[in-house]
Amino acid sequence: MNLGLETGTAAPTLIAALRGPAEAARLWAVRDLAKGGTAFAPGDESGDVYLLLSGLVRLVYATETGEAWIKSFIIDCGVFSGRGADDAGAGESYGAEAVERCRFVRLPRVFVSDLVASDAGVRAAYAAFSTWVLARKQAREAALLTMTAEARLRAVLAAAPEVASRLPQGDMARFIGVTPVAFSRIKRRIGPQAARPE
Protein backbone atom coordinates (compact mmCIF):
# COMPACT_ATOMS: atom_id res chain seq x y z
CA MET A 1 0.00 0.00 0.00
CA ASN A 2 1.48 3.35 -0.97
CA LEU A 3 -1.26 5.58 0.47
CA GLY A 4 -1.95 7.43 -2.76
CA LEU A 5 1.51 8.43 -3.90
CA GLU A 6 1.34 6.47 -7.14
CA THR A 7 0.60 7.88 -10.58
CA GLY A 8 -0.81 4.80 -12.28
CA THR A 9 -1.82 4.55 -15.94
CA ALA A 10 -5.41 5.83 -15.76
CA ALA A 11 -4.52 9.54 -15.66
CA PRO A 12 -2.09 9.46 -18.62
CA THR A 13 -4.68 7.52 -20.63
CA LEU A 14 -7.37 10.11 -19.86
CA ILE A 15 -5.02 12.99 -20.69
CA ALA A 16 -4.16 11.35 -24.03
CA ALA A 17 -7.87 10.89 -24.80
CA LEU A 18 -8.62 14.55 -24.05
CA ARG A 19 -5.67 16.01 -25.92
CA GLY A 20 -6.90 15.57 -29.51
CA PRO A 21 -10.35 17.09 -28.95
CA ALA A 22 -8.84 19.89 -26.82
CA GLU A 23 -6.31 20.73 -29.54
CA ALA A 24 -9.06 20.69 -32.15
CA ALA A 25 -11.08 23.11 -30.00
CA ARG A 26 -7.95 25.26 -29.47
CA LEU A 27 -8.15 24.72 -25.73
CA TRP A 28 -4.84 22.86 -25.33
CA ALA A 29 -2.56 25.52 -23.84
CA VAL A 30 0.33 24.38 -21.64
CA ARG A 31 0.88 26.67 -18.66
CA ASP A 32 3.58 26.89 -16.00
CA LEU A 33 3.04 27.20 -12.28
CA ALA A 34 6.05 28.14 -10.14
CA LYS A 35 6.96 26.23 -7.00
CA GLY A 36 4.74 27.55 -4.21
CA GLY A 37 2.15 28.84 -6.68
CA THR A 38 -1.57 28.20 -6.31
CA ALA A 39 -3.71 26.74 -9.09
CA PHE A 40 -6.78 27.51 -6.97
CA ALA A 41 -7.39 28.22 -3.29
CA PRO A 42 -9.89 26.59 -0.91
CA GLY A 43 -13.22 28.29 -1.43
CA ASP A 44 -12.52 29.28 -5.03
CA GLU A 45 -15.21 28.32 -7.49
CA SER A 46 -12.70 26.66 -9.77
CA GLY A 47 -14.50 23.81 -11.50
CA ASP A 48 -12.05 23.62 -14.39
CA VAL A 49 -10.24 20.35 -15.01
CA TYR A 50 -6.45 20.46 -14.62
CA LEU A 51 -4.24 18.04 -16.55
CA LEU A 52 -0.85 17.90 -14.82
CA LEU A 53 1.89 17.12 -17.34
CA SER A 54 4.86 17.40 -14.97
CA GLY A 55 5.63 18.44 -11.41
CA LEU A 56 4.04 17.82 -8.04
CA VAL A 57 0.81 19.33 -6.67
CA ARG A 58 -0.70 19.00 -3.22
CA LEU A 59 -4.46 19.23 -2.71
CA VAL A 60 -5.10 20.80 0.72
CA TYR A 61 -7.99 21.65 2.99
CA ALA A 62 -7.62 24.66 5.29
CA THR A 63 -8.56 23.96 8.92
CA GLU A 64 -10.33 26.41 11.22
CA THR A 65 -6.95 27.31 12.72
CA GLY A 66 -5.46 28.06 9.30
CA GLU A 67 -3.36 24.90 9.10
CA ALA A 68 -3.32 22.67 6.04
CA TRP A 69 -4.65 19.12 5.94
CA ILE A 70 -3.36 17.30 2.88
CA LYS A 71 -6.03 15.52 0.87
CA SER A 72 -3.64 14.00 -1.67
CA PHE A 73 -0.74 14.62 -4.00
CA ILE A 74 -0.85 14.68 -7.80
CA ILE A 75 2.50 13.52 -9.12
CA ASP A 76 4.11 14.00 -12.55
CA CYS A 77 1.01 13.16 -14.57
CA GLY A 78 -2.49 13.51 -13.21
CA VAL A 79 -5.97 14.97 -13.44
CA PHE A 80 -7.71 17.04 -10.76
CA SER A 81 -10.28 19.77 -10.38
CA GLY A 82 -11.64 22.09 -7.76
CA ARG A 83 -15.21 22.67 -6.75
CA GLY A 84 -17.33 24.60 -9.18
CA ALA A 85 -20.42 26.67 -8.48
CA ASP A 86 -22.60 23.59 -9.07
CA ASP A 87 -20.88 21.79 -6.18
CA ALA A 88 -21.67 24.39 -3.53
CA GLY A 89 -23.38 21.87 -1.23
CA ALA A 90 -20.74 19.16 -1.61
CA GLY A 91 -18.80 19.88 1.59
CA GLU A 92 -15.61 21.83 2.22
CA SER A 93 -13.51 22.74 -0.78
CA TYR A 94 -9.76 22.31 -1.13
CA GLY A 95 -6.96 24.16 -2.85
CA ALA A 96 -4.20 23.05 -5.21
CA GLU A 97 -0.62 24.20 -4.58
CA ALA A 98 2.59 23.48 -6.48
CA VAL A 99 5.21 21.65 -4.40
CA GLU A 100 7.50 21.78 -7.44
CA ARG A 101 7.41 23.76 -10.69
CA CYS A 102 4.50 22.35 -12.68
CA ARG A 103 3.28 22.29 -16.27
CA PHE A 104 -0.41 21.76 -16.87
CA VAL A 105 -3.35 22.27 -19.21
CA ARG A 106 -6.59 23.73 -17.87
CA LEU A 107 -9.86 22.73 -19.56
CA PRO A 108 -13.40 23.97 -18.87
CA ARG A 109 -15.37 21.36 -16.98
CA VAL A 110 -18.30 21.65 -19.37
CA PHE A 111 -15.98 20.81 -22.28
CA VAL A 112 -14.77 17.65 -20.52
CA SER A 113 -18.33 16.70 -19.46
CA ASP A 114 -19.58 17.07 -23.03
CA LEU A 115 -16.74 14.86 -24.31
CA VAL A 116 -17.47 12.20 -21.70
CA ALA A 117 -21.09 12.20 -22.89
CA SER A 118 -20.35 12.21 -26.62
CA ASP A 119 -16.98 10.49 -27.19
CA ALA A 120 -16.75 6.75 -26.44
CA GLY A 121 -12.95 6.83 -26.08
CA VAL A 122 -13.00 9.70 -23.60
CA ARG A 123 -15.91 8.09 -21.74
CA ALA A 124 -14.00 4.81 -21.32
CA ALA A 125 -10.84 6.62 -20.19
CA TYR A 126 -12.83 8.74 -17.75
CA ALA A 127 -14.58 5.67 -16.30
CA ALA A 128 -11.24 3.91 -15.79
CA PHE A 129 -9.78 7.03 -14.16
CA SER A 130 -12.80 7.41 -11.84
CA THR A 131 -12.46 3.76 -10.76
CA TRP A 132 -8.75 4.27 -10.06
CA VAL A 133 -9.40 7.44 -8.02
CA LEU A 134 -12.03 5.66 -5.94
CA ALA A 135 -9.64 2.78 -5.18
CA ARG A 136 -6.91 5.28 -4.28
CA LYS A 137 -9.25 7.14 -1.89
CA GLN A 138 -10.39 3.90 -0.27
CA ALA A 139 -6.79 2.77 0.27
CA ARG A 140 -5.89 6.11 1.88
CA GLU A 141 -8.98 6.04 4.11
CA ALA A 142 -8.24 2.47 5.20
CA ALA A 143 -4.63 3.38 6.00
CA LEU A 144 -5.67 6.41 8.07
CA LEU A 145 -8.22 4.34 10.01
CA THR A 146 -6.37 1.05 10.48
CA MET A 147 -2.61 1.75 10.50
CA THR A 148 -0.45 3.61 12.99
CA ALA A 149 1.30 6.75 11.78
CA GLU A 150 4.62 4.91 11.89
CA ALA A 151 3.20 2.07 9.77
CA ARG A 152 1.84 4.62 7.28
CA LEU A 153 5.26 6.28 7.01
CA ARG A 154 7.00 2.94 6.58
CA ALA A 155 4.51 1.98 3.86
CA VAL A 156 5.14 5.22 1.99
CA LEU A 157 8.91 4.85 2.22
CA ALA A 158 8.76 1.22 1.08
CA ALA A 159 6.32 1.68 -1.82
CA ALA A 160 7.16 5.13 -3.17
CA PRO A 161 10.65 6.16 -1.96
CA GLU A 162 11.41 8.36 -5.00
CA VAL A 163 8.19 10.34 -4.56
CA ALA A 164 8.55 10.51 -0.78
CA SER A 165 12.04 12.00 -1.19
CA ARG A 166 10.50 14.91 -3.12
CA LEU A 167 8.11 15.89 -0.31
CA PRO A 168 9.03 18.44 2.38
CA GLN A 169 9.01 16.97 5.89
CA GLY A 170 6.06 19.13 6.91
CA ASP A 171 4.02 17.75 4.03
CA MET A 172 4.97 14.20 4.95
CA ALA A 173 3.84 14.81 8.54
CA ARG A 174 0.50 16.23 7.42
CA PHE A 175 0.05 13.48 4.85
CA ILE A 176 0.44 10.68 7.39
CA GLY A 177 -1.76 12.61 9.82
CA VAL A 178 0.60 13.70 12.60
CA THR A 179 2.13 16.90 13.93
CA PRO A 180 5.70 17.82 12.94
CA VAL A 181 6.82 16.98 16.49
CA ALA A 182 5.29 13.50 16.34
CA PHE A 183 6.75 13.04 12.87
CA SER A 184 10.25 13.84 14.22
CA ARG A 185 9.82 11.18 16.90
CA ILE A 186 8.71 8.58 14.34
CA LYS A 187 11.62 9.55 12.10
CA ARG A 188 14.10 9.01 14.92
CA ARG A 189 12.67 5.54 15.58
CA ILE A 190 12.84 4.59 11.90
CA GLY A 191 16.33 5.99 11.40
CA PRO A 192 18.14 7.00 8.18
CA GLN A 193 15.43 5.50 5.98
CA ALA A 194 13.17 8.43 6.97
CA ALA A 195 15.61 11.21 6.04
CA ARG A 196 14.31 13.70 3.50
CA PRO A 197 14.93 17.26 2.37
CA GLU A 198 13.47 20.18 4.26
- Whole-prediction pTM: 0.85
Q: What gap in Å lies between CA 8 and CA 17, rounded to an integer?
A: 16
Beta bridge partner(s), residue 95: 60
Hey, what CATH topology would domain 10-137 get? Jelly Rolls (2.60.120)
Would you state the pLDDT for residue 197?
43
Three-class SS of the chain: CCCCCCCCCHHHHHHHHHHHHHHHCCCCCEEEECCCCEEECCCCCCCCEEEEEECEEEEEEECCCCCEEEEEEEECCEEEECCCHHHCCCCCCCEEEECCCEEEEEECHHHHHHHHHHCHHHHHHHHHHHHHHHHHHHHHHHHHHHCCHHHHHHHHHHHCHHHHCCCCHHHHHHHHCCCHHHHHHHHHHHCHHHCCCC
* DSSP 8-class letter at 98: E
Count the neighbouring beta carbons within 10 Å of the beta carbon of residue 115.
20
pLDDT tens digits in sequence order for the chain, 198 residues long? 445 566 778 999 999 999 999 999 999 999 999 999 999 988 787 779 999 999 999 998 877 777 778 888 898 999 999 865 455 455 567 899 999 999 999 999 999 999 999 999 999 999 999 999 898 888 888 888 999 999 988 888 887 888 888 888 888 888 888 888 898 899 888 876 554 444
How many CA atoms lie less than 13 Å away from 162 in the CB half-sphere?
5
Would you state the pLDDT for residue 22?
98
The domain locations on the chain are 10-137, 144-193
